[in-house]
Amino acid sequence: MKRPILIHPDPRLKKVAKPVVDVSDALRELADDMLETMYDAPGIGLAAPQVGVMDRLIVLDCIKKEGESPRPLVMFNPEVIASSEEENTYEEGCLSIPEQYADVTRPADVTVRWIDRDGALQEETFDGLWATCVQHEIDHLEGKLFIDYLRPLKRQMITRKMVKLKREMARAG
Ligand code: K1U
Ligand code: ZN
């Protein structure tokens, strides 16, 4: 089932999400819903707070090329356990901040530890877009948005656009 995505500004997008204690069937269903919502948007990642659930859960799939098999990843309690000195700059977007993009610089490679949908501990090093995306999603669990890396003026400008968009969306019903 697709779930509505919260649009910035929303207090739930600024809160720290709670660690998952047990990977229950209900949480697996939430992960499936989030993947469906992400693919439909379309997006390459989604964090539970973006659908109003304050649990430490993210999903991602950064395979963008036609013909390549999808690689949906479900991560409970994801943690960056190592980051490279080398950095990478990507033009980031966010499904909670539609149609706004900006360059963000982050570590180029990150090693992430997480619990998968079967409750097993996993560890992997990501690079390229995968590294950018997993850091962007983990930031969501800390109540941090990519616009928080921008200069205050640019952030305010984007926030004002989003307030206007939300007003128009509410008027349209
Ligand atoms: O967290 C989110 O809101 C999802 C976001 C993830 C992200 C994008 C770019 C850099 C870092 C993290 C998105 O998926 S925005 C949409 C997007 O980037 C995209 C959509 C379709 C095809 C390819 C990319
Ligand atoms: Zn986002």
**Residue-wise pLDDT tens digits, 5-23:** 999 999 999 999 999 999 9
* 124 a catalytic residue: no
Mean pLDDT of the chain: 97
Alpha helix segments (H runs only) across 43-90: none
63, 71 Cβ separation under 8 angstroms: yes
Query: Residues with beta carbon < 5 A to ion ligand 2?
Result: 94
Q: How far is the CA of 16 from the centre of ligand 1 (A)?
A: 21
How would residue 173 be classed by pLDDT, with cut points 50, 70 and 90?
confident
Residues 6+ apart with CB under 8 A from 147: 8, 94, 97, 100, 102, 154, 155, 158, 159
Kindly give the number of the ligand 1 atom that is closest to the alpha carbon of 46. Answer: 1
